[in-house]
Amino acid sequence: MAQPLFRAPVGTRDILAPESARRRRLVRVFADLAERSGFGLLESPVFEDVGVFQRLGEANDVVTKELFEFFDKGEPPRHLALRPELTAGVCRAFAEHRPVSPWKIWYSGPQFRYERPQAGRYRQFEQVGVETLGTDDPHADVEVISLGVRFYAALGLTRVRLLVNSLGDSDSRSAYDAALTGYLQSRRGELSEQSRVTLERNPLRVLDSKRPQDQPVIAEAPLMVDFLSGASAEHFASVRAGLDSLDAAYEISPRLVRGLDYYTRTTFEFVADALDTAQNAVGGGGRYDGLVEDLGGPPTPGIGFALGVDRILLACDAEGAFAGDPAPVQVFVVDTVGGQSAAVLCDWLRQAGLGADRAFDGRSMKAQMKRADRSGAVVAVIVGPDEQAQGTATVRDMRPGGDQHTVPTSELVAEVSRLIAAAQPRPAIPQHRRQDRD
């Protein structure tokens, strides 16, 4: 293969049209839902002081091994990192601006983790999410979680399961930690080598192990639910009741731990059963009641989630949901008399709000017609010597068996608008799939 000088870095990729348009539309669906629910957009930096992320947990790979870190040219240099997730930056912003509570925000954007790529996992990946800070009302939990549920449904996904659990507050958590650690220590010999290491650093996460050897031990481990304090248990019950009242289906998943260390009380995860890969979690979140304080702000409860755009799109493909956009080009102007007419007519059509395109380089009519077809345009406008002489344009219906007629250019925009309004839009055709058409 003739090798390009450069390619996209490991774990990153270029997303070409029309797939790029589909992603953007997905974010728009999310934004619409979030904003109609009272969440405002927060645009925060793609990089932060490395300290913002180090609060996520010293025992966490996301912080210890997977950070893209760098120093800037300040004197002294500032130690910065590309964000590996978005919640920490949101909490930093809260501590910095002290907005009125509850602060409800949504976001979208790229994040970066230095990991080995695999199915559904990239070094640069995109998430959308919401966060509600400043209230620990269980109704806030319900609002956030159900927003996720409704979003997947809005995309047309049917095989996404919601798993919920409670990790308890710090008191119940430490009681549980002690019990779990004691239990795991007692069966240490049966655990995998990896899990024994994990046990030293963060016993909770042993529950996350996928290694078959660990499963019997995990299956008999004590459950968090049995250690919840009265207040935590009550909170969890309220959240469940709230979800019930919205008919939001969920499963209690007593061993759902989640990756980041800051989670307290409510945790949840969305799993796409349509994905048969190892990375089938398409979203997750929970409460992080201590995080703002950790970052120097006032004690502030918070809850939120992040949904992985890349994986959601994979799940949509697997379910045949959230189909591609219609072609943005509705009219294609074929001009065999030098291209000036194409320039003018495209301009008129575009100013009228239509999607219009044209060919360059003075290609043959046949070649231009082919372009017109490939563009997905419903209508072709043809200007040749005859039309030019008469001040007219030929309007051709590009659908199979469509007819054509000639109109004065003064009536062109109206005529094309009429035809397009009457016609079904054609789908955008990905470059690499043109051959699949019937």
Partner RNA sequence: GUGGCCGUAGCUCAGUCGGUUAGAGCGCCGGGUUGUGGUCCCGGAGGUCGGGGGUUCGACUCCCCUCGGUCACCCCA
Name which position in 258, 265, 287, 358 contacts RNA (CB under 7 A).
258
β-bridge mates for residue 405, sequence order: 395
Name which position in 83, 113, 265, 287 contacts RNA (CB under 7 A).
113
Judging by beta carbons within 10 Å of its beta carbon (0-12, 13-18, 19+), is residue 427 exposed, middle or buried? middle
Rank residues 185 and 404 by Cβ distance to RNA and give the closer one.
Answer: 404
Rank residues 8 and 100 by Cβ distance to RNA and give the closer one.
Answer: 8
Cα radius of gyration rounded to whole Å, the chain: 28
β-bridge mates for residue 108, sequence order: 128
Computed from CA positions of residues 110, 112, 118, 121, in that sequence, does the dihedral angle turn out positive or negative?
negative
Tokens for 327?
A: 């072609």
Closest to 287 in 3D by CA, of 317, 310, 326, 261: 261
Q: Which residues contact 113 (CB under 8 A, 6 or more apart)?
A: 62, 66, 67, 68, 84, 123, 125
Cα separation, 253 vs 122, whole angstroms? 27
Rank residues 5 and 100 by Cβ distance to RNA and give the closer one.
Answer: 5
Q: Please count the other Cβ atoms lying within 10 Å of the Cβ belonging to residue 83.
A: 22
Q: Any idea which residue has 């799993």 for tokens?
A: 271
Region from 183-191, 217-225, 237-245, 383-391 binding RNA, contact rule CB under 7 A: 383-391
The reply to whether 273 sits near RNA by the rule CB under 7 A is: no
Contact (Cβ atoms closer than 8 angstroms) between residue 262 and residue 85: no
Closest to 216 in 3D by CA, of 197, 196, 190: 190
Name which position in 234, 244, 386, 411 contacts RNA (CB under 7 A).
386
Region from 25-33, 108-116, 135-143, 349-357 binding RNA, contact rule CB under 7 A: 108-116
User: Within 314-353, which residues bind RNA (CB under 7 A)?
Assistant: 336
Name which position in 48, 136, 169, 269 contacts RNA (CB under 7 A).
269
Contact (Cβ atoms closer than 8 angstroms) between residue 302 and residue 341: no
The reply to whether 213 sits near RNA by the rule CB under 7 A is: no
The reply to whether 121 sits near RNA by the rule CB under 7 A is: yes
At position 106, the amino acid (one-letter code) is W
Q: Please count the other Cβ atoms lying within 10 Å of the Cβ belonging to residue 432.
A: 8
Q: 281-287 and 264-272 as β-strands: parallel, antiparallel, unpaired?
A: antiparallel
The reply to whether 23 sits near RNA by the rule CB under 7 A is: no
Binding mask 408-437 for RNA (x = CB under 7 A): -----------------------xx-xx-x
Rank residues 228 and 260 by Cβ distance to RNA and give the closer one.
Answer: 260
Contact (Cβ atoms closer than 8 angstroms) between residue 124 and residue 12: yes
Binding mask 165-194 for RNA (x = CB under 7 A): -----------------------------x
The reply to whether 147 sits near RNA by the rule CB under 7 A is: no
Closest to 14 in 3D by CA, of 129, 111, 128, 124: 124
Contact (Cβ atoms closer than 8 angstroms) between residue 167 and residue 265: yes
Rank residues 70 and 298 by Cβ distance to RNA and give the closer one.
Answer: 70
The reply to whether 296 sits near RNA by the rule CB under 7 A is: no
CB of 391 to RNA, least distance (A): 12
The reply to whether 391 sits near RNA by the rule CB under 7 A is: no
CB of 245 to RNA, least distance (A): 26
CB of 355 to RNA, least distance (A): 16
User: Within 67-106, which residues bind RNA (CB under 7 A)?
Assistant: 85
User: Within 29-68, which residues bind RNA (CB under 7 A)?
Assistant: 60-62, 66
CB of 294 to RNA, least distance (A): 17
The reply to whether 405 sits near RNA by the rule CB under 7 A is: no
The reply to whether 16 sits near RNA by the rule CB under 7 A is: no
Name which position in 283, 301, 302, 304 contacts RNA (CB under 7 A).
283
